[in-house]
Each structure stands twice: as C-alpha cells, then as structure tokens.
Amino acid sequence: MQLEIIDNLKRMRELEEAWSHLARTTPYPMLQYNWMLSAAEAYEDQMDLQIFAIWEGSALAAVAPLGYFRHGLQGQLRCLADNVGEPDAFLYSNQAALDGLLSAILRQGRALKPSHLSRDGAEYASLKASGRRGEDRIRRGL
C-alpha cells in the first residue's frame, strides 16, 4: 500500500475515474466524486485540501476527503462534507486499506474532527482500535 496526500484540485480532478469506481457501493451520496469536488472547490479559500489516498498498485483502495481548516493559530482536519450535516465516512475497499488510511491520518499529528462519525461504523472502530493515540487525536479534534 502506498499513501498519497492530495493537496490541490488539479490532482483531485485526475482521480475522478478511480474515485468513482471506489464509491460505486457507498450508501453516502456525499462521498461521490462530483459532490466532493464541488465541496473542495467551494471551501478552497477556507482550508488546505488534504485528501488522504491509499493505493494498492494502480487501484485506489481508500480515500479520506479531508481539509485542514484553520482557526487562528490552530487547525483541524475535517471531512469536506462536515458543514452539511452528512455522516463523516471514508471510502475503502477492505479493512486493511481503512486501517492504513487511518494510521496515515493519525501519523500527521493534526487534530481530526469527525463531527458526524458514526459510533457504529468501521471508521470509528478502527480509530478506537488504534489505541490511546487515536483517541487523543479524536478528542483534540472534538
């Protein structure tokens, strides 16, 4: 698995086909490529794009559509759909890809604010399973 952090709209646009393929079974419409691209464009002046992508060879295996939103001297990683009240969720093809994605996010050392992360979802379970470090990062973000 290889991590890529997408920090610009040009690169995000290049992922349309791979993203759409990964999102084909998600129950969350807001995770579809076109919606996330629209959100990234709308919030471009308010955040630094930080889309975490895990690749398995040439296949996109997981993606976390995040932005780094600044508040004074501090900031938080937040889902691009955060402001619309939709569930925070990530796209992933398997548990190993999700675990790798969350590990990469936590290694960045930035607070993660999963405002609408389901306590029953795989994302929350993986964050909790990552141990104290994951719980601290979540708490700092809330």
pLDDT of residue 85: 64
Q: How far apart are CA 7 and CA 68, in angstroms?
A: 10
In whole angstroms, give the CA distance from residue 134 to residue 102.
9
Q: Which percentage of the chain shows pLDDT scores above 70?
A: 78
pLDDT value at position 12?
96
Q: What are phi and psi of 31, to 5 degrees?
A: -90, -5
Phi, psi of 22 (to 5 degrees): -65, -35
Supply the pLDDT for residue 89: 81
pLDDT above 50 for 86? yes
Report the predicted TM-score, pTM, of the whole model to 2 decimal places: 0.84
The whole-number average pLDDT for the span 50-55 is 96
